[in-house]
A and B are shown apart, each in its own frame.
Chain A
Amino acid sequence: MRGRAEMKRSFSGSIFRGLIILSSVFLLLTLVLLLFSDSIRNVEDRKNALLLANQIFSTWSGSFYPEVGVYDSTAVSGGVQYGIRRIVSEVSPGIREMHLYVGRNDGSNRIELVRKYYDLEIRNL
């Protein structure tokens, strides 16, 4: 009788210990995930920003020649609002450079892309 009671006690103690250990492992994994959640969010933001930037550039193809200036706008992607800034400057007559910045509205996770545009109407003969 005494042996059975000890075995029972030992068995329930093992289950309890097992649960404690598994919970600890779970907590540890959660902690690790939390440590990396910022990195994951950053990558997600940059991915969305890149998609937006690609869409913007694809609409300005062909004979597009941008006006010089600074232009700000916003766009929503994946439920997050992104700020878009275009800075167009003239590097030489008939050549303009556009810097496109897309990132979170607070300026974080911003990607920068650059492209040149040429005014083929200007001929330096």
Chain B
Amino acid sequence: MFSGIYIALLFDMKFSEGIKIRKIGSGVSIPAVTLALFSSAVVMISLVLLVNYITGVVDRQAALEESVQAQLTEESAVEGLNMDLTNSNIRNFANIPVYSIGGLETSFRMIGTSAVPPLELSWRSQGSRILSSLPVGRSIFILSESDGGLRIDLLTGTDVDNSVEILLIPQWTAEQYSIAGTLCSGSPVLFLLTRTSGREEVTIISPGTGSESYDIDIPFWNESSLLSAGCILGRPALLISEGRNQAQLFVPDSLKLLTVSSPPGTTPVFYGQDQLYGSMDGGYQENVKYPVISVLHDDFDSNGTDDLLFVGYGSLAFVSEAEGSFILDTLPGGRLVAWGLTERDMILSAKWIEGTSHERWRALTEEGFADSAGPEFHPFNWEGRLASSRNSIIGSVDGIIVIADENSEKLITVCNSQNAVFCQLDGEDLDLIYTDSDFLTILLNPLDGDGLILTLRSVTCNDDNILSEKTWNIQIYGNIHNRRVQYERAS
């Protein structure tokens, strides 16, 4: 400002020598002083504005950086809390630890808690009717009818918001179809076996490699045939069985089907990590006595190793993977109607009907199958596969999937058993997938019972300022040995 005045006065004195214009007492002209003062004021105001602007911009940038760090600190804290809850490190929800990182800290305060039913996830097939769903590992293939064509989508894990359409067949005229799936080199592979105008075709579909089709000539195949997919030397392969102890093996590179056989009461299947149950050297003669209708793979004898269970209309065959033992149970004139793990001790039990209505339960013991009382606390009219947890049992009663809860003594209806399939999508516990029209529902861990929902308030702050406050809903399911935690920001 002063420099402006100085310059103005200097020039004024120099150029006004000998000129008679209005001067103030010291010999300086009034217009020059006015101009000088005005210019100085402009410079002064500009300087102040600029300094304020720059300071503001710098402060806002610093606040923005702190805000981003606050968000990262908060995200880290919520994930840390998730881990601590999953590992059961927090015993008292009213005393949650403070999480700090990047010079900031996030604390949580509980503001509410309530019970929440088992987690249900839904997926919709954009209006097309769902024909089938097939869980493979942690993925689900979904076949749906779309404008006269067939659409195949793939869901990965429980991420129902990000399904991928992996194949669209515009003209779908198949008279009959069956599906089977497997994991090959970690990637889910779907076999689609179709019959169109008497011609049979196998299409192998994988999200990584696309699809390839092969014409095959199968000696037998109907809707009750059992299909089992697996991997042989890294290539997907398919077993087609009528439920007998001989099956046809389709390998894409092989020109003809190969015959695989297994002991009577079983049927050749793929299981575990690319393992084949059955012999390719014709070791077993064809036996039609004990046709198999379903094959289960689980740890039925609770020794830590998965076993195979072959379920027939009138037979139940148990194959211990660890010991290699084989136990076949049959009842003369008996009909097998329900099977699976029951009771708290996870006993492999089977319900038989002798004659027209006489119910008889048989359970696996060290000496083989023996008569038992059946699921003591759940005397319902069970059908098909059963599964249990500490306090509840899930199975089918009169065509409906139900959960019987020992604590509440309630029978909770879940869905129609026709379109339902058990699987293990999320951890080791059993999950249930069922479809209805264009909806697919994933019911996670229904045997764990209700979960707990915690409503928490998070506060992220530096030394003295609160930078972020949010409310979170934390859902806790399962037990201390297998706890699952989900969180979302409350609206």
Chain A interface residues (CB < 8 Å from chain B):
6, 9-10, 13-14, 16-18, 20-22, 24-25, 28-29, 32-33, 36, 39-40, 43, 46-47, 50, 53-54, 57, 61, 94-95, 97, 111, 113-118, 120, 123-125
Residue B391 CB within 8 A of the other chain: no
Interfacial chain B residues near A43, Cβ < 8 Å: 54, 57-58, 61
Check: B218 CB closer than 8 A to any chain A CB. no
A16 in contact with B39 (CB, 8 Å) = no
A16, A61, A116: the one contacting B101 at CB < 8 Å is A116
B15 part of interface (Cβ distance < 8 Å): yes
Question: Are A120 and B86 in contact, CB atoms less than 8 angstroms apart?
Answer: yes
User: Do the beta carbons of B47 and A32 come within 8 Å of each other?
Assistant: yes
B75 within 8 A of A: yes
Question: B residues touching A (Cβ–Cβ < 8 Å)?
Answer: 3-4, 7-8, 11-12, 15-16, 19-21, 31-32, 35-36, 39, 42-43, 46-47, 50-51, 54, 57-58, 61, 64-65, 68-69, 72-73, 75-76, 79-80, 82-83, 86-89, 101-102, 480-481
Q: For residue B76, which residues in chain A have a CB less than 8 angstroms away from its CB?
A: 115-117
In angstroms, Cα B102 to Cα A13, docked, is 64
Is the Cβ of B72 less than 8 Å from the Cβ of A113? yes
Q: Which residues of chain B are near A36, meaning CB under 8 Å?
A: 50-51, 54
Can you list 27 A-B contacts with CB-CB less than 8 angstroms, sorted by A residue number? A6-B19, A10-B19, A10-B21, A14-B31, A20-B11, A21-B11, A21-B35, A21-B39, A24-B7, A24-B39, A25-B4, A28-B43, A29-B46, A36-B51, A40-B57, A43-B57, A57-B72, A113-B72, A113-B102, A114-B101, A115-B73, A115-B75, A116-B76, A120-B82, A120-B83, A125-B480, A125-B481
Q: Which of B21, B39, B50, B101 contacts A97 (CB 8 A)?
A: B101
Is B19 within 8 A of A21, CB to CB? no
Give every chain A residue within 8 A of B89 (Cβ-Cβ).
124
Q: Contact check, B481 vs A17: say whether CB atoms are below 8 A apart.
A: no
A125 & B88 in contact (Cβ 8 Å cutoff): yes
Given contacts A28-B4, A95-B83, A113-B72, 17 further A-B contacts (CB under 8 A): A6-B20, A13-B19, A17-B15, A21-B8, A21-B36, A39-B58, A50-B61, A50-B64, A50-B68, A57-B72, A61-B75, A115-B72, A115-B101, A117-B76, A118-B80, A120-B83, A125-B481
Pair B80/A17 contact, Cβ less than 8 Å: no
Min Cβ gap A34→B in Å is 11
Determine which residue in A25, A47, A117 has the highest number of CB atoms from chain B within 10 A of its CB, and name it: A25
The reply to whether A46 and B65 form a contact with Cβ atoms under 8 Å apart is yes
Q: Cα distance A43–B57 when bound, in Å?
A: 7
Number of interchain pairs (Cβ within 8 Å):
110
The minimal Cβ–Cβ distance linking A94 to chain B, given in whole angstroms, is 7
A25 to B88, CA, bound (A): 70
Top 10 A-B pairs ranked by shortest CB distance?
A114-B102, A116-B76, A115-B72, A118-B83, A25-B39, A13-B15, A118-B79, A24-B7, A17-B11, A43-B57
**Neighbouring B residues of A50 by C-beta, 8 Å:** 61, 64-65, 68
Contacts of A111 in B (CB 8 A): 65
Query: Which residues of B lie under 8 Å from residue A46 when comparing CB positions?
Result: 61, 65
Residues of chain A lying within 8 A (CB to CB) of residue B51: 36
Chain A residue nearest to B60 (CB atoms) is A43
Alpha-carbon separation in the docked complex, A32 to B46 (Å):
9
Q: Which residue of A lies closest to B8 (CB)?
A: A21
Interfacial chain A residues near B61, Cβ < 8 Å: 43, 46-47, 50
Q: Which residues of A contact B68 (CB under 8 A)?
A: 50, 53-54, 113
**Which residues of the other chain, B, contact A24 by a CB distance below 8 angstroms?**
3-4, 7, 39
Point out the residue from A17, A53, A57, A125 that lies within 8 Å of B32, measured CB to CB.
A17
Least Cβ–Cβ distance between B97 and chain A, in angstroms: 13
A114 contacts B72, C-beta separation under 8 Å: yes
Interchain CB contact (< 8 A) of B12 among A17, A22, A53, A97: A17
Give Cα A62–Cα B285 distance, bound, in whole angstroms: 53
Q: Return chain B residues, CB-CB under 8 Å to A20.
A: 7, 11
Whether A32 contacts B12 by the Cβ 8 Å rule is no
Minimum CB distance partner of A53 in chain B: B68
Cβ of B21: which chain A residues have Cβ within 8 Å of it? 10
Chain A residues with Cβ below 8 Å from B12 are 17
Known: A10-B21, A21-B36, A24-B7. A32 touches B83 (CB 8 A): no
- Do the beta carbons of B11 and A28 come within 8 Å of each other? no
- What's the Cα separation between A24 and B42 when bound, in Å? 12
Q: Are A32 and B15 in contact (CB under 8 A)?
A: no
